[in-house]
Amino acid sequence: MKRRFPRPKELAPLMRMSMPDRDRVRARLERALTIDDLRTIARRRTPRAAFDYTDGGAEAEISMARARQAFVDIEFRPAILRDVSQVDASCEVLGGASQLPFGIAPTGFTRMMQTEGEYAGARCAQRAGIPFTLSTMGTASVEDVATAAPGGRHWFQLYMWKDRDRSMALVERAAASGFDTLMVTVDVPVAGARLRDKRNGMSIPPALTPSTILNAIPRPWWWFDFLTTEPLAFASLDRWSGTVGELLNSMFDPTVTYEDLKWVAAQWPGRVVVKGVQTLADARACAEAGVDGIVLSNHGGRQLDRAPVPFHLLPQVVGELGDDLTIMLDTGIRSGADIVAAIALGADFTLIGRAYLYGLMAGGERGVDRAITILRDEILRTMQLLGVKTLSELGPEHVIQLTRWREVPRP
């Protein structure tokens, strides 16, 4: 090839210099193209104890890793030559509309991750047209969440306490505030062994110790926000000084049975969902108890380590109970493609927890918006590449679950 020096007029179109964005939050969020990118930003900006509380699981974190790997180990089967110029990812769940096939899961101590906490989640969910679930262990009251997002759709997650009267008083407040669905979480009879929290000396509220101060030095913005806004308060309890595990074990009732579930459901005027179902037998029992839906979940891998993988359980439960219950799924979801795979295998809806919190830690309310936008774009693109225009067109023929683990036959 004959070589020559480029002419200035040939270089001009290649020069794309732009002024730095003075809005640093917007600049860093625009660089995040995936939920994992948001996680990287969140880890950089959040003290280790708060980040690890979100990011970690129980014991050796095997359940958490397996749940994530289950979504990695799928193969999509696309259909070609379909008109996918217009794609609709909206659906109906539990008697109401959702613009996307996922909602925000209940998460505890959310304002500890970033001070906008549940307020940011509720407002972003309202803008996106998806449900927001407030946790019993949330750091905003049911009344304040309803006020922050008056046009949003709100669900309330209930842990049954030893003090039943106090539990039901909270349920009554949620109903009075317009929450339309009660999500009863049943997989926390006692706290799981969350070893990251123990090693970090995680407490509520975060304590100023030599190690936390040292860890805070490169993250002054987090501490500035934490120390100059209202102290952490909870949706359902007075302030607590101690570890998360001690709090859970002091409050939660390990004697709860299906009879208690029926008793709670009889007092709630809206839909009732059971979260934490991990076997087909318990899914059947929930249907017999008359609830409206279940969430296949192992609590994000934060309770029993080596628990069943919800995504693996999904086809079996859908095959037997798909006509009787609304079947939802959480744990391990990190992309819009994961959500599409779950819907294809029969889930009616999904919930995101860590994915939303990574956005919150990365950029507050704008970070949550970014997380939802990333997932929305991935869902729509995956649907187009699979050759489907609506969620109802998705089916098992679009997804294969590749086998990494096999159950050993019993003698």
Structure tokens at 333: 């979801």
Burial bucket for residue 323 (CB in 10 Å: 0-12, 13-18, 19+): exposed
What CATH number is associated with residue 32?
3.20.20.70
Q: Is residue 405 part of a domain?
A: no
**100 C-beta neighbours (distance < 10 Å), count:** 23
Catalytic residue, candidates 154, 299, 312, 398: 299
Under a CB-based contact definition with an 8 Å cutoff, are residues 292 and 326 in contact?
Answer: yes
- Any residues with CB less than 8 A from the CB of 400 and at least 6 apart, and which? 74, 75, 77
**24 C-beta neighbours (distance < 10 Å), count:** 10
Q: At what angle do helices 336-344 and 62-72 cross, to 10 degrees?
A: 80
Q: Is residue 130 part of a domain?
A: yes
Q: Is residue 295 part of a domain?
A: yes
Q: How far apart are CA 270 and CA 175, in angstroms?
A: 8
> Quick one: pLDDT at residue 12?
74
> Given the structure tokens 């089967």, which residue do they identify?
77
- Any residues with CB less than 8 A from the CB of 84 and at least 6 apart, and which? 383, 384, 387, 388, 389
Q: How far apart are CA 128 and CA 97, in angstroms?
A: 12
Q: How far apart are CA 196 and CA 24, in angstroms?
A: 31
Nearest to 192 by CA among 307, 106, 104, 111: 307
Under a CB-based contact definition with an 8 Å cutoff, are residues 252 and 190 in contact?
Answer: yes
> Quick one: pLDDT at residue 249?
63
| Per-10-residue mean pLDDT, the chain, length 411 | 80 72 87 97 92 94 96 96 97 97 95 93 98 93 95 94 81 94 92 86 65 74 82 60 59 83 92 97 96 97 95 96 96 97 98 97 97 98 98 97 75 67
In the chain, the N- to C-terminal Cα span, in Å, equals 72
> Quick one: pLDDT at residue 201?
78
Q: How far apart are CA 369 and CA 257, in angstroms?
A: 38
> Quick one: pLDDT at residue 116?
94
Enclosing domain of residue 148:
24-394
Secondary structure (3-state) at 336: helix
> Given the structure tokens 């869902």, which residue do they identify?
379
> Quick one: pLDDT at residue 205?
59
Structure tokens at 14: 């290649």
Burial bucket for residue 168 (CB in 10 Å: 0-12, 13-18, 19+): middle
Q: Is 312 a catalytic residue?
A: no
**Pair type for strands 102-104 and 399-401:** unpaired
Q: Is residue 3 part of a domain?
A: no
Q: Is residue 261 part of a domain?
A: yes
Under a CB-based contact definition with an 8 Å cutoff, are residues 338 and 299 in contact?
Answer: no
> Quick one: pLDDT at residue 235?
59
Q: Is residue 2 part of a domain?
A: no
Cα 5 vs. chain centroid, distance in angstroms? 55
Q: How far apart are CA 54 and CA 333, in angstroms?
A: 14
The pTM score is 0.91
- Any residues with CB less than 8 A from the CB of 115 and at least 6 apart, and which? 225, 226, 229, 364
Q: How far apart are CA 71 and CA 244, in angstroms?
A: 29
Longest alpha-carbon distance in the chain = 87
**Pair type for strands 102-104 and 181-185:** unpaired
How many structural domains is the chain composed of? 1
Q: How far apart are CA 244 and CA 247, in angstroms?
A: 5
Q: Is residue 10 part of a domain?
A: no
Residues paired with 399 in a beta bridge: 76
DSSP E strand stretches across 131-240 = 132-134, 154-158, 181-185
Backbone angles phi, psi at 199, to 5 degrees: -70, -30
Q: Is residue 8 part of a domain?
A: no
> Quick one: pLDDT at residue 208?
55
**Element of type H or E holding 295:** strand 293-296
